[in-house]
Amino acid sequence: MAVETKTRGIFIDGEWREADRGKTFAVRNPATGEILAHVADGGVAEVRRAIEAAHAAFPAWSQMTADKRATLLSKAAQRMTERTEELARILTQENGKPLAESRGEVASAASFFQWNAEEARRVYGEVVPTVASDRRVLTIKQPVGVVAAITPWNFPLSMVTRKLGPALAAGCTAVLRPARATPLVAIATFEIMQEVGFPPGVVNLVTGTDSAGMGTELATNPLVRKLTFTGSTEVGKLLLAQAASTVKRVSLELGGHAPFLVFDDADLEKAARAAVLSRFRNAGQTCICTNRVYVQRGIADAFTAKVAQFASALKVGNGLDPDTQVGPLIDERGFEKVQAHVEDARSKGAAVLTGGRPARVNGDLHGYFYEPTVLANTTPQMRVMYEETFGPVLPVMTFDTEDEAIALANDTPYGLAAYFYARDVGRIFRVSEKLDYGIIGANDPVPVGAHIPFGGYKQSGLGRENGSEGINHFLEVKAISIGL
């Protein structure tokens, strides 16, 4: 799909449709403010119809052999890979991230389809040793039913396939509601699924602006058996409460506040490069992004100087420019939050080592660009140290002992990703085990992939995506006891 001024958005029962009252909404490029497309503005009624289509398609899809479902997912993965450039350009234009990152996202999105195609063939049951000689017990796994998926704007492609991949592989049918800001790459993905031949009703898409209304319908409609959501902790809690009324299965991938610890035995150069990569990719708008750095006192000055040097060298600009390393923030609200966090830290005594203001792009001050920023002399009382900034700001604080570093790292209601750099193997095990986080990057700034379980402790979520357990969240276990 080339980005055009009027495009689709609602795909129900194998057909593209307009919104009921023909309404559309504009999708804008956050780098330029230009309108990229007008997309169907669906609402509760369209969501309800999509759920009904998914419900009607469930018996045939769930009874299709896993092998056939796997073949369709593999074909979709292959088409996505073949269309990498086109998908990456759409992604960069609606989200703002640099093209190189968008290409990476297309690759990971395709890998989620491919991984789950392979997992589909290995949904095994068990024969359970009997306790009574006249009975035999076995278990089988069956798809949970209709899945509702709600995805965010920061990874508008890979979050779609990370949810639909295991749902479809397991034999579930699905309704997707993509983020309002970034529906275009989701639409392109549905065009691919249509092209490779997913049967009507198996996957349905409803774009629209009524986030709360559509979310409530997806979380409460009795035909939906499973809700999977990626987004903020605030909205996740709301959906979890709504889903309780029908006891839906729920998976939540929510906010994070990742700590990054640097111990005095670390490779400083690697640690500094990793902290910058982890903080500034996607302009800091990643749930597993480093939010706060704690560095051991003896190496603090040397480490912080390197981080400031690397961060100040990053090129800010339009993601379509091949030199760009940091794109714009998604919208005005995101931009204002970054400014507020920096001002709060400054007013409480933080030193701004680099950045600290809106960025000039081609000499102009464009709305949503912010300079990569490194703050020193930070304290736990500053908002950057406990709230998700979701922007290009890296605060650094010092610590003295391993126990103190772990206590600081764990002092948060979040528990998604944590990073540390150290070379002592005992420390690597000790610290990994003591951090209350679902994902640990020990000397690894990108601890993710289709093969790695992804999910959070505490208020960062429920359940896991990816890895060998990902598909299990879309399956029920049925016990069958047979009297002989």
Q: Which residues are catalytic?
A: 253, 287
Q: Is residue 232 a contact residue for ligand NAD (CB under 6 A)?
A: yes
Q: Does 446 bind ligand NAD (CB under 6 A)?
A: no
SS3 content of the chain, % helix, strand, coil (to 5): 40, 25, 35
Candidate list 24, 29, 154, 221; residue touching ligand NAD; CB under 6 A: 154
344 Cβ partners below 8 Å, 6+ apart? 382, 383, 384
243 neighbors 219 (Cβ within 8 angstroms): yes
- Whole-angstrom distance, CA of residue 133 vs CA of residue 51: 45
3-state secondary structure of 127: strand
Q: Is 463 in the site for ligand NAD (CB under 6 A)?
A: no
Binding of residue 180 to ligand NAD (CB under 6 A): yes
Which element (helix H / strand E) includes 243? Answer: helix 233-243
- Whichever of 355 and 455 has its CB closer to ligand NAD, that residue is 455
Distance, CA of 151 to CA of 272 (rounded, Å): 32
Q: What are phi and psi of 451, to 5 degrees?
A: -85, -5
Q: Minimum CB separation from ligand NAD for residue 438, in Å?
A: 9
Residue 417 backbone zone (phi > 0: left; psi -120 to 50: alpha; other: beta): beta
Segment near ligand NAD (CB under 6 A); pick from 117-125, 128-136, 247-255, 270-278: 247-255
Kindly state whether residue 448 participates in binding ligand NAD, applying the rule CB under 6 A: no
Closest alpha carbon to 286 in 257, 323, 321, 312 = 257
259 binds ligand NAD (CB under 6 A): no
How far apart are CB 474 and ligand NAD at their closest, in Å?
A: 16
Q: Residue 300 CB, nearest distance to ligand NAD (Å)? A: 28
Q: Which is nearer to ligand NAD, 154 or 412 (CB)?
A: 154
Q: Per rule CB under 6 A, is residue 166 in the interface with ligand NAD?
A: no
Residue with smaller CB distance to ligand NAD, 155 or 437: 155
152 binds ligand NAD (CB under 6 A): yes
- Binding status of residue 206 toward ligand NAD by CB under 6 A: no
* Residue 349 near residue 380, CB atoms below 8 Å: no
CB of 126 to ligand NAD, least distance (A): 30
Stretch that binds ligand NAD, among 138-146, 164-172, 207-215, 340-348 (CB under 6 A): 207-215
Name the residue with the smallest CB distance to ligand NAD. Answer: 215
Stretch that binds ligand NAD, among 153-161, 293-301, 309-317, 342-350 (CB under 6 A): 153-161
CB 140 within 8 A of CB 480: yes
Cα atoms in the 13 Å half-sphere on the side-chain side of 469: 9
Whole-number Å distance between alpha carbons of 478 and 143: 10
Count of Cβ atoms closer than 10 Å to residue 316 Cβ? 23
- State how far the Cα of 181 lies from the Cα of 279, in Å rounded to an integer: 22
Within 8 A by CB and 6+ apart from 50, the residues are 10, 12, 175, 204, 205, 206
Identity of residue 149: A
Question: What track of x and - describes contact with ligand NAD for positions 44 through 63 (by CB under 6 A)?
Answer: --------------------
What is the H or E stretch that residue 483 is in?
Answer: strand 475-483
CB of 241 to ligand NAD, least distance (A): 11
Selected range binding ligand NAD among 35-43, 51-59, 152-160, 377-385, rule: CB under 6 A? 152-160
Which residues ranging from 69 to 128 are in contact with ligand NAD (CB under 6 A)?
none
Is there binding between residue 278 and ligand NAD (CB under 6 A)? no
In the complex, the residues that contact ligand NAD under the rule CB under 6 A are: 150-155, 179-180, 211-212, 215, 230-232, 235, 238-239, 253-256, 287, 388, 416, 456, 461
